[in-house]
Amino acid sequence: MLLVALDQLRDGVVLGEDVRDTNGRLLLTKGQQIDANQIRLLKIWGVPEVPIQEQDQGIAKDKGDKEEADRLKIERTVQTIFQHIDTAHPAIQPIFKAAVEHRCQKGLFVDLGPRQRLPEDFKLDLYNGMKTQIQFSEVHLPESPEIIIEFNKIVDDPMSSANDIAAVVSRSPSLAALLLKIANSAAYGFVSKIDTLSRAVALLGTREVGVLAMVISSVQFFRDLPKDLIDMATFLRHSVACGLLSRILGAQARVPHTERLFLAGLLHDIGRLVWYRYFPEQAKLVLNMAKTTGLSVFELETECMGINHTQIAGYLLKKWKFPESLENAIVYHHCPSRSHEPAEPSIVHVADIAVNALGLGHSGGHIIPHFDPRGWYQLGIAPGALKTAIDQTVQQVDIMTELFTGL
């Protein structure tokens, strides 16, 4: 018979003796197999250790060994994801820790396999194809739906009113219905039912409703992408998580109009969707090459195609007449220090790194390209606050992703 501390105790072991509290009251009897619930109760009763049958020592140890082995595997996964980044950086440390914890809880391993070198001809073939086509407008980027342009004006105009929103939304009954569905969801937590658009605007605010309308219109625009290339549910989860975390970080940094950061985070990889829709063959080659070389998809896009998804997003958002502030946050989300206004792109940049590290969906690849820390310092977000923001995002991401699924 062995005494095992509660922290070391695994469910399924059999008690070698009766367990009593400090007053001698019988809590559990000898021979009883204990489960996680009983371990929790033992902790509440203040029992520090319990006697277990000797043959169970092996079970406990094996389970402990397996957990340790799984944790090491997860740590290696996160190290691989961060291979191009200094993990000792104060902004990256809390993300690394949160990523290991979250992936351990969910069992999220990434098996990236053995590495190969990038073949020379691979680069040239793609480069000559795609950059030329996009730059010389041989590719017709999606035309903006009228409604997105109108919402852009409203979201960008500080004088816009509830009536302006209602006038635009009421022209599309399906958009109005979706807006009310979102406003009534648990994600917003209103007790009474919101049954009219004017009430939704009154409760959520003009900008929030405008942003939601833009999200609905933009996400609907990118339905029906090739399933063998990208799983839209995974892509959407990545986008929603980045939107949520950007909004929370924005509030921590006291950036005005955090709803704009939500939209920027949600649409930050929209350039990839253009790429998947109009260049599916090239995209497939690059995604496969990222898996075998250990290079990031962003690096491969830039190197091999001469154009990356942030530049594609730049062309698209100009065409869709997005406000410059949104364009700035999206176009510079991989290199915020190149922006004249680095605060918002820095927030989306760090949010993107964090949600990739935690495995809250992805937009094509797992390896994080690099960390551009310059804009981050100006935000004044403490590492502890970053950890809190990540925890809040994890709590909200499922409910919000479900909301946007099937739009």
Q: Which stretches of the chain bind Fe ion, using CB under 5 A?
A: 269, 352, 363
Q: Whose Cβ is closer to Fe ion: residue 164's or residue 269's? A: 269
- At closest approach, how far in Å is the CB of 337 from Fe ion? 16
- At closest approach, how far in Å is the CB of 338 from Fe ion? 14
Q: Whose Cβ is closer to Fe ion: residue 164's or residue 352's? A: 352
Name the amino acid, one letter, at 285: L
- At closest approach, how far in Å is the CB of 268 from Fe ion? 6
Question: Is the separation of the CB atoms in 51 and 20 below 8 Å?
Answer: no
- At closest approach, how far in Å is the CB of 238 from Fe ion? 6
Q: Whose Cβ is closer to Fe ion: residue 269's or residue 327's? A: 269
> H or E stretch including 52?
strand 49-52
DSSP string, 305-365: IS--HHHHHHHHHHHTT--HHHHHHHHTTT-GGGSSS-HHHHHHHHHHHHHHHHTS--SS-
Q: Whose Cβ is closer to Fe ion: residue 200's or residue 350's? A: 350
Six token digits for residue 313:
């997003």
Q: How far apart are CA 108 and CA 243, in angstroms?
A: 22
- At closest approach, how far in Å is the CB of 250 from Fe ion? 17
- At closest approach, how far in Å is the CB of 359 from Fe ion? 13
Q: What is the largest CA-CA distance in the chain?
A: 84
Closest C-alpha to 158, from 256, 249, 239: 256
Q: Whose Cβ is closer to Fe ion: residue 38's or residue 356's? A: 356
Q: Whose Cβ is closer to Fe ion: residue 246's or residue 363's? A: 363
Six token digits for residue 312:
């594609």
- At closest approach, how far in Å is the CB of 266 from Fe ion? 11
Q: How far apart are CA 327 and CA 334, in angstroms?
A: 13
End-to-end CA, the chain = 59
Q: Whose Cβ is closer to Fe ion: residue 352's or residue 372's? A: 352
Q: What is the dihedral of CA 231, 233, 239, 240, to 10 degrees?
A: -170
